[in-house]
Amino acid sequence: MGRKGNTVKVKKRRRRPESQPRRAKKRVCHFCREGITQVDWKDVTLLRKYMSDRAKIRARRVTGNCPRHQRQVATAIKNAREMALLPYVSVK
């Protein structure tokens, strides 16, 4: 005893296939944006931003640095550690 024309059409949302993950926004290198050519090993506050809470150097994909500046940051952190400005390990 069903009536014709009484059905409600539901719009289906298009879903992204699980094989295609969401794309994160491309980060811009802080040093390129500010026009900094050399990373100074004595600038401890800046270098701490590029270290984890366990005193590990953060990866380039996490920080958004360009390859050249990421190498300079890593070298600057290592120099600051040698001069005892930054810790090698942070124990919790």
pTM above 0.75, yes or no: no
Q: 10 Å Cβ neighbour count for 65?
A: 24
- Record the tokens describing residue 4, joined without a space: 């014709």
For the chain, the domains span 30-82
- Record the tokens describing residue 51, joined without a space: 């270290």
Per-residue pLDDT for 53 more than 80?
Answer: yes
47 φ/ψ sector (left φ>0, alpha ψ -120 to 50, else beta)? alpha
Average pLDDT value over all residues in the chain: 88
Question: What is residue 26's predicted lDDT score, i.e. its pLDDT?
Answer: 76
Per-residue pLDDT for 21 more than 70?
Answer: yes
Question: What is residue 69's predicted lDDT score, i.e. its pLDDT?
Answer: 96
DSSP 3-state percent helix, strand, coil across the chain (nearest 5): 35, 0, 65
Instruction: Name the H helices within 1-92.
Output: 30-34, 44-48, 60-63, 67-82
Per-residue pLDDT for 7 more than 80?
Answer: no
Q: Which fold has domain 30-82?
A: 30s Ribosomal Protein S18 (4.10.640)
